[in-house]
Structure formats: structure tokens, C-alpha cells
């Protein structure tokens, strides 16, 4: 089984390729973009992981996105409350589409 795992949209986005339970390749996006703590979708890191193993997207059995909603919500809440009153809680509720 070939699985590409991705993590992104907050600091240090990355991709990892696992083949039959063994990590075959892993990279952080910042290594390619040269932007410290790059939070963008790890497209270049994912491309490198696949290319390093001679694979294409169609060869994968699954693509997994790392997300823990409660931890993400907690991180956003701390960020906005830390910036209060500038942070203005309204942004938090609009951004996470809660409520």
C-alpha cells in the first residue's frame, strides 16, 4: 500500500510517503520554497516524495491529510485571544465557521 501524508496550512507544512508501512520519503515545504515555516499546501514536498520513489499520483492508494480539529481550534482561539482586543473574536467565528 502506498500512502502520501500531507500536513499544511499552518507552520512547517510537509509531506511523507509511506510504502507498505515504511516511510520512504519525507520533506518540509520550506526546503523547496526557501520560506521559513512555510504554511502553504506542501505541493513541492509531495512532488519530491513521489519523484524520489519513481511514483506518480495515480500510483497511490490513499492521500491522507493530517488534521486534528480540536487542536486547530485551540490554536486559533489562543492566537485570537492573545491579540485581543485587536483580534476581535468575530474573525474567529467567521474563519472556523462555528456556531
Active-site residues, by number, are 11
- Radius of gyration of the chain from Cα atoms? 17
Cα–Cα distances in angstroms (integers) from residue 32 to residues 2, 17, 63, 80, in the given order: 23, 17, 21, 30
Listed residue (42, 46, 48) closest to 13, CA to CA? 42
Phi and psi, residue 4, nearest 5°:
-105, 120
Amino acid at each position: 500500500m502506498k500512502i502520501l501524508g500531507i500536513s499544511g496550512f499552518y507552520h512547517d507544512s510537509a509531506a511523507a510517503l509511506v510504502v507498505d508501512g515504511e516511510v520512504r520519503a519525507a520533506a518540509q515545504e520550506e526546503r523547496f520554497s526557501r520560506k521559513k515555516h512555510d504554511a502553504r499546501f506542501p505541493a513541492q514536498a509531495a512532488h519530491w516524495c513521489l519523484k524520489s520513489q519513481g511514483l506518480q499520483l495515480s500510483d497511490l492508494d490513499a492521500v491522507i491529510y493530517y488534521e486534528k480539529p480540536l487542536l486547530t481550534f485551540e490554536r486559533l482561539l489562543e492566537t485570537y485571544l492573545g491579540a485581543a482586543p485587536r483580534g476581535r473574536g468575530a474573525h474567529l467565528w467567521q474563519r472556523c465557521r462555528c456556531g
